[in-house]
Amino acid sequence: MVYTTSSPSQIGRHSVEVVIVPDATAGGELIAEAIAALLRRKPDALLGVATGSTPLPIYRALASKVASGAVDASRARICQLDEYVGLPAGHPESYRSVVLREVIEPLGLSEASFMGPDGSAEDVQAACEAYDRALAEAGGVDLQLLGIGTDGHIGFNEPCSSLASRTRIKTLTEQTRVDNARFFDDDIEQVPHHVITQGIGTILDARHPILLATGEGKAEAVAQTVEGPVASIVPASALQMHPHATVVVDEAAASKLKLADYFRATYAAKPEWQGL
């Protein structure tokens, strides 16, 4: 496939394109090829990355392409979606450390190619505003990877977040802290109470947001995101307002889509030149 963000690629697009793939590995390969095609066209593209288990197949597939010489990622720039507040620099579970391990190092990049919010800043609000400015000054995010929570959140924009929100500090729900305790020796007391997250408005500034969802547990959130109304109770539904947003789902995550057959048919008939 040829990936492009020039105006012809927008012809006939839906507000959210839904691509149904057999499994997580296929989804990772599809998105990695879209990233690779973007880097061939724009070698210094700014790629927004997400943490967690869902995007790992993307990073593995992309690293494999780099290792084989199928794509040169040496000039790529990487930016962070969110970060814990208050963890000391270099903490192994800071999202900066996670991105360095899972993305920067496997792609053979240096830490100089990476930008993220300062979760250890004394003035967290100022750090949030500085990060929004830094993204704009870098030319904007070319492709932003996203996961989705079972409640429809993206980044740490929990239900009822403002759809116009910018990078800001958010308080983690108790359930999120319980879920994340597994990364902190199962000790919830070690899990920070606050995070910095790109706001929904900041995410929508990206030229191409791509959301990957896998597993039956995400099926209801996916259906609400792409087939339900745009509403702050399902933050990811804001992607419907973007002119070029893509949602890639495996069969399990697609299981509650009423228009699944339509999505399959439109993707099967998609012109090769249009790309993902």
Catalytic residues: 82, 151, 153, 158
Q: Which residues does residue 157 pair with via DSSP β-bridges, in sequence order?
A: 154
What is the Cα 122 distance to its own chain's centre? 27
Q: Is the dihedral of CA 91, 201, 175, 19 positive or negative?
A: negative
Q: Is the dihedral of CA 101, 104, 106, 110 positive or negative?
A: negative
Task: Say if residues 253 and 218 touch (Cβ distance below 8 Å).
Answer: yes
Q: Which two tokens stand for residue 193?
A: 């109470």
